[in-house]
Amino acid sequence: MRRLVALAAGAVLLVSCRSGGDEPPSSLPGAKLIHFRVGTDLVPEPLEQAAIALPPPKDGSRRPLVVLLHGRGGSPDAWANDQLYRALEAAGDAAPDVVMANGGEASYFHDRRDGEWGTYVVDEVIPKAIRLLHADPHRIAIGGASMGGFGALDVARLHPGMFCAAGGHSAAIFDSAGHTSEGSFDDAEDFAKHDLVTFAATAKHPYPGMRVWMDVGTDDPFHDADVQVAHDLAQHGADVTFHEFPGGHSGGYTREHLAQYIAFYAKALKSC
């Protein structure tokens, strides 16, 4: 089924409610997996986003919103799996709506030469998801895996006061410009603008008013940098929950812990 949704700014979104194997299970009655395309001048081309819309809570209030950012080479639909649906079901009335933002192949969700990827998430994807899902604009969390974990922590850092919580799951945090992977940053200057290691070591009041979750596998190549960032953030007063789990840097690792991630976001959003 397709329908057009008119936006306040005069733009139009093409919304697709797909049926079939990618639909939420019957154990989430009334839930819909929605795809919508964001046309914007901030990134090189219009991109398809995905969202999970849950029915309103029994008290008629708006659900909070969790923004999930995918890993390098991935897509928004990578999040829409059985583990996520089970996690939302377990959260009950506290379960958030979910928007899964599209970061292209290797944007790392930060503003750079080929597009303002972080700004696009904040100014384009989130507002349109809130209108489409009728989510609570005052209760938003952002998290991601790998490239998206870095992006979520960076976006939240640059927009204090916007998010109730932020999560870096196997976050792809590089300890120096010389140790980055090809294409992750434009150059050393770009890296310096988004250097989470230096930020965590020097910030006086990191992530004010936010709860932060970080986790990493014991065999993850980003293990040491993630541990250091979590430690330094806590030392500087951030409200950080950190977990080190067995495993490496993979989609399987992320899926294994999705229930814990959603439980964290639901609790943080409920008390925001």
**pLDDT tens digits, 178-234:** 999 999 999 999 999 999 999 999 999 999 999 999 999 999 999 999 999 999 999
Q: What is the pTM of this model?
A: 0.91
Residue with tokens 């989430």: 28
Domain that holds residue 46: 2-270
Q: Residue 8: what pLDDT?
A: 31
- Tell me the C-alpha distance between 263 and 268, whole Å: 9
Question: Which tokens belong to 86?
Answer: 């089970």
Residue type at 69? L
The total of other beta-carbon atoms located within 10 Å of residue 218's CB is 10
Q: Residue 22: what pLDDT?
A: 60
pLDDT tens track of the chain, all 272 residues? Answer: 333 333 333 233 334 444 334 678 777 888 999 999 998 899 999 999 999 999 998 888 999 999 999 999 999 999 999 999 999 999 999 999 999 999 999 999 999 999 999 999 999 999 999 999 999 999 999 999 999 999 999 999 999 999 999 999 999 999 999 999 999 999 999 999 999 999 999 999 999 999 999 999 999 999 999 999 999 999 999 999 999 999 999 999 999 999 999 999 999 999 99
Q: Residue 7: what pLDDT?
A: 32
Q: Alpha helix (H) ranges present in 40-141? A: 82-91, 117-120, 126-133
The total of other beta-carbon atoms located within 10 Å of residue 166's CB is 29
Residue type at 160? P
- Tell me the C-alpha distance between 63 and 95, whole Å: 7
CATH code of residue 98: 3.40.50.1820
Q: Specify the 3-state DSSP secondary structure of 84.
A: helix
- Tell me the C-alpha distance between 153 and 139, whole Å: 17
Q: Residue 14: what pLDDT?
A: 38
Determine the angle formed by the axes of helices 82-91 and 258-270, rounding to 10 degrees. Answer: 30
Residue 239 pairs with which residues in a beta bridge? 211
- Tell me the C-alpha distance between 103 and 171, whole Å: 15
Q: Specify the 3-state DSSP secondary structure of 182.
A: coil
Please check whether residue 96 is in contact with residue 66, taking contact to mean a CB–CB distance below 8 angstroms: yes
CA 24 to chain centre: 19
- Tell me the C-alpha distance between 155 and 152, whole Å: 5
- Tell me the C-alpha distance between 250 and 146, whole Å: 9
Domains contained in the chain, number: 1
Q: Residue 60: what pLDDT?
A: 87
Q: Residue 17: what pLDDT?
A: 42
Q: How many CA atoms lie within 13 A of 190 on its CB side?
A: 17
Strands 47-53 and 97-101, sheet pairing = antiparallel
- The DSSP letter of residue 26 is T
Question: Which tokens belong to 132?
Answer: 């489409």
